[in-house]
Amino acid sequence: MSSPTGPAAKTERLLNLVLCLLYTRRPLPKSRIRDVVPQYGDAKTDEAFDRMFERDKDELRELGIPLVTEDIGGLWDDEVGYRIDQREYALPDVAFEPDELAVLGLASRTWAHASLAGPAAQALRKLKASGIERDGDSLVGIEPRLGTREPAFEAVKNAVVGQRTIRFGYRTGGAGEVQERRVQPWGLASWHGRWYLTGFDLDREAPRVFRLSRIDGAVTEVRRAEPYTVPEDHRAQEMIRTTVGEQRPRTARVRVRAGRGHTLRRRATTSTDAGDWTHLEVPFTDDDALADEVTGYGADVVVEEPAEVRDLVVARLQGALAAHGGAA
């Protein structure tokens, strides 16, 4: 079976070449490089390998990678070897402020929700190996604006792309009653950090907007459903904006254990220390979003007001306990 081609394969080959030349103690001849880098072994002829290797050398140098050529032959041999000077290649010591570490962690969580989770995790491991520790406590509860952590996201996205009618349970708000909905999906968009589905509600015979975080249970396709077309003038974000509207800011009163809840502390408008706890007043606009954030801190943050947010946190914690075989 032939090896993959294209930009991804080329990137992998260049990366393997860099690793090979970076960690060798002595310059390597081309013959040895051809044995070590897997993609070079696929070259059908010596001439094909030479052309590929020359192009890769030029590209590495264009990228600023210090590729060194040295004479490794004896008195009667002019063979050359290649390596990368680690002192020239290495970055200087890098230091990050706490808020910069928070951004790095947030970026890693953004990728963790996408198809590049592996490279993001590898990048964090490299940071950690350099002596840089991620501020985990300050990241609990933070979600990237375009995060896709809702369990229903993948199924809904596929339904939108395939124009397939779907069925799902939907909570009307907060911890409200779950009702079944049959929807012809039109679009999927993010609004104020939340993902929304737009479409035509078959049971209510009207266009509707659904927040993905309120979808309860599995999303299933409606078999033998009538085909449909998305209105030509449909604009998902405009429909979401006019339906959801701008949310009015409110204030929550929370109690935070000392040394915890850094994201809440940064947003707080007032802060009062009381022994091992700090009382905060935190502005918010979305009950579910605040409940998600607070739940991530476990027993280190307690919501005192409003009651509806406190109830949502309790429901989430009870659900987590039940999922792990405990009793509420």
- With pLDDT > 90 as the criterion, what percentage of the chain qualifies? 20
The residues near 156 (Cβ < 8 Å, ≥ 6 apart) are 166, 185, 188, 197, 212, 215, 219
* 266 and 302 in a common domain: yes
* 179 and 113 in a common domain: no
Could you check whether the bond before residue 306 is cis, i.e. omega within 30 degrees of 0?
yes
Residue 144 located in a structural domain: no
Tokens 């000077």 correspond to 85
What is the three-class DSSP state of 214?
helix
Q: In the 8-state DSSP scheme, what is residue 114?
A: S
Round the average pLDDT of the chain to a whole number and report it.
77
Query: How buried is residue 16: exposed, middle or buried, by Cβ count under 10 Å (0-12/13-18/19+)?
Result: middle
Residue 146 located in a structural domain: no
Tokens 């008195």 correspond to 75
Residue 307 located in a structural domain: yes
Ordered DSSP codes for 166-188: EEEEEESSTT--EEEEEEEEEEE
Query: How buried is residue 119: exposed, middle or buried, by Cβ count under 10 Å (0-12/13-18/19+)?
Result: exposed
**CATH code, 37:** 1.10.10
* 231 and 168 in a common domain: yes
Containing 71, the helix (H) or strand (E) segment is: strand 67-71
Q: Model-level pTM?
A: 0.43
Residue 118 located in a structural domain: yes
Q: What is the mean pLDDT of residues 160-171?
A: 91
* 184 and 225 in a common domain: yes
Residue 1 located in a structural domain: no
* 311 and 265 in a common domain: yes
* 195 and 227 in a common domain: yes
**CATH code, 184:** 2.30.30
What is the three-class DSSP state of 37?
coil
β partners of residue 282: 252
Domain that holds residue 189: 153-244
d(CA 280, CA 294): 13
The least confident of 91-100, 109-118, 158-167 is 109-118
- With pLDDT > 70 as the criterion, what percentage of the chain qualifies? 72
Using the 3D structure, point to which of 193, 213, 244 is the last residue of a domain: 244
* 176 and 112 in a common domain: no
Tokens 């998600």 correspond to 292
Residue 147 located in a structural domain: no
* pLDDT above 90 for 208: yes
pLDDT in tens, 189-206: 877 667 889 999 999 999
Residue 40 located in a structural domain: yes
Selected residue with higher pLDDT from 130 and 87: 87
Query: How buried is residue 46: exposed, middle or buried, by Cβ count under 10 Å (0-12/13-18/19+)?
Result: exposed
* 159 and 127 in a common domain: no
CB 115 within 8 A of CB 8: no
Residue 21 located in a structural domain: yes
* 107 and 173 in a common domain: no
* pLDDT the model gives residue 117: 46
Tally of structural domains, the chain: 4
* 240 and 160 in a common domain: yes
